[in-house]
Amino acid sequence: MKNEEFKEIALKIKAEIDRAQTILLCCHPSADPDSVGSVLALMHYLESVGKKVMAIRGDDELSKGLLTLPGSEKIINKNFLEIDVSDYDLFIATDSSSSDQVTKRGEMTQEMRNKTTVIDHHKTDIGWGFVNCVIKDSPATAQIIYDLFEVLGAEITSEMAKCLFAGIYADTGGFKYPTTSRHTFEIAGKLVQITPDFSKVIFEYENSYEPENIKYLGLALSLIETYFNGRVALSPVPLSEMKRLGIKAVHTFKMEISNILKSVIGWEIGVALTETEAGKTDVSLRTRDADKWDVSKIAKALGVGGHSAAAGATIYKPLPEAKDLLLSTIENLYPELGKR
């Protein structure tokens, strides 16, 4: 997106904010630091300009690491469908490529869509809000929000800087992913100037595991299967084993099983399949070569989306059926991999 076009959209967002008195923010399902960091940075800014803001956690419980971010104690434990939309003049949807990525528990009403401003970086986002700021080559929604604050002339506080840094750091894989740019490092440098203890943010997030996190990691790694002549690695974790070990869905969110799988030479695509509820299987997809094996296409075929190198979906089927659907989808999209 060109600078002038971005400034034009930023001013539209400012106009929406100026008109609103009450503003709703919501973390996406299986929230990560980019989701929560973006929500909290916006919350701090909106409160500073006199707006009444409610930030809600959304569908899923937040992991302990996310609760270390400044302002996280203000996030209300409600999902989107528990909110009366008539109470809000504006909904700012961050890091959500579709309304399904705001909540998977039901449909968003047209009334709420008409009040929705979208700020996102997913390549599968078609611009589903009333106002849309979708920059598909940005590595993180938090980076877009930083640029938005720059256009608006917002004062970025230490709390805001920590939230934005966490989002950028996590969604770039610690500045390792291909979408990380010179601009990303420039922003990170500016945020570090504002909050010199930025390393504490990273330490607290990365060192906040519970015993159940490690149990899940061990379980997932013990169940690895390979398909397509050893080029696709899967870790299918059944609900029965989750229950046996006392593991809940929240304990799976930051364990990066699919990232571990794709780090193995020869395993081109890594997939974590976790049955978190009866008839519900969460899917996390990663690839070593996003140009050759675009996993967002797999996720989109399964009903959600994401990025070329990293994507996810939820399949509302038991694990065996979900696994079969996933493998069939990969086989259809990438016949060059051969038969499963």
Structural contact between residues 306 and 312, judged by C-beta atoms closer than 8 angstroms: yes
Nearest Cα residue to 59 out of 73, 32, 34, 80: 80
Cα atoms in the Cβ-side hemisphere of radius 13 Å centred on 101 = 30
Secondary structure letter of residue 224 according to DSSP: -
Cα separation, 229 vs 243, whole angstroms: 32
Mean pLDDT on 137-149: 98
Q: Quickly list DSSP for 97-145.
A: SSGGGT-SSSPPPHHHHTTEEEEE--TT----SSEEEE-TT-S-HHHHH
Q: Containing H/E element for 259?
A: helix 257-262
- Residues in a beta bridge with 92: 25, 117
Write down the CATH number for the domain with range 211-337: 3.10.310.30
Q: Residue 87: how many CB atoms within 10 A of its CB?
A: 10
Domain boundaries, the chain: 3-206, 211-337
Mean pLDDT on 232-254: 96
pLDDT over 90 percentage in the chain? 88
- Residues in a beta bridge with 331: none
Fold of 3-206: inorganic pyrophosphatase (n-terminal core) (3.90.1640)
pLDDT tens digits, 264-298: 999 999 999 999 999 999 999 999 999 999 999 99
User: Structure tokens of 124?
Assistant: 């599968």
Long-range residue pairs from 47-53, CB within 8 A, at least 24 positions apart, any chain:
48/154, 48/155, 48/157, 49/17, 51/17, 51/20, 51/21, 51/22, 51/23, 52/21, 52/22, 52/23, 53/22, 53/23, 53/24, 53/25
The residue that leads in pLDDT, 3 or 257, is: 257
Looking at residue 185, its pLDDT comes to 98
Cα separation, 277 vs 248, whole angstroms: 9
Q: Does residue 5 surpass a pLDDT of 80?
A: yes
pLDDT band at 303 (very low <50, low <70, confident <90, very high): confident
User: Structure tokens of 222?
Assistant: 């013990």
pLDDT band at 111 (very low <50, low <70, confident <90, very high): confident
pLDDT tens digits, 36-57: 999 999 999 999 999 999 999 9
User: Structure tokens of 258?
Assistant: 């699919």
- Residues in a beta bridge with 281: 275, 315
User: Structure tokens of 313?
Assistant: 């979906």
